[in-house]
Amino acid sequence: MNLADMSIKEIRVTMEKLDEVPKDFLQWLKEDKRAGVQALAKQAEAALARQEKLAQMWADMTVYEKAMFDKGHQYIFGVDEVGRGPLAGPVVACAVCLPKDFYLPGLNDSKKIPVSTREAFCEIIQRDALAVGIGIVDAARIDTINILAATKEAMKLAIQQAGSAPDVLLIDAVQLTGMDCEQVPIIGGDAKSVSIAAASIVAKVTRDRLMAQYAEQYPAYGFDKHAGYGTPEHLAAIARFGPTPIHRKTFTGVKEHA
């Protein structure tokens, strides 16, 4: 490729077609003295730095998975939940088994990813994963057995619903009873394991969609805005209108009005 024979517009169009910026291409840009090309070189250098940062983050977040693959395990499940803290709505868990060659740069804890990216990542994960299971435990059940027990129940349901038997479970800080496989509880796992991060993405998107549906059913509470968490707006609505059937009657902020 001879950039000297290309216009700045042609170079820009070429760059837009590249999924990643090759280092030799960046070097060619730097050697071109045209001001417009130098500006493109700076853009390309920043893009390459982002790519390298994401690649390093991926390497850091696949340490657990690589260790398990090296032991000969194939079905390595990441398990996570969303919705332990809200005053309303279910707790939702997800179990995800990713292929060994899966690569989704930018995958991270669902709370650290913008909504639009989260939605896009959720589609990719559900399309490409070897197995995906979702477990949902509603507010009434949470009130009956407590939130920790409900969280574990949702996780077990998710694993069962995935349809494949796991060799290993990578779980965000929880140990499950009655499982016939190795478990690796990881504190802050959704930021340390791509499998757990993938599970957190699917669980978060699933729960947010459910809460948006509840917002249509109970429009006075704003569930689509706070997802059931105890915001001032939500607490004021509970005080004014009382709890709905999806509120957790044993939780502080709700039980006073139940």
Question: Annotated binding site for a divalent metal cation, which residues?
Answer: 80-81, 172
Output the known binding site. Answer: 80-81, 172
Q: Per DSSP, which regions of 83-197 are E strands?
A: 91-97, 131-137, 168-171, 182-185
Half-sphere exposure in the Cβ direction for 75 (13 Å, CA): 13
Q: What is the DSSP letter of 109?
A: -
- Compute CA distances 197 → 43, 106, 244, 250, whole Å: 29, 10, 31, 30
**CA triple 185-84-245, angle to 5 deg:** 150
**Torsion-angle region of residue 75: left (phi > 0), alpha (psi -120 to 50) or beta?**
beta
Query: DSSP readout, 7-25?
Result: -HHHHHHHHHH-SS--HHH
Query: What is the Cα 77 distance to its own chain's centre?
Result: 14
Q: What is the DSSP letter of 195?
A: H
Place of tokens 């996780």: 155
Tell me the C-alpha distance between 49 and 54, whole Å: 9
Pairing of strands 76-82, 168-171: parallel
Place of tokens 């279910």: 90
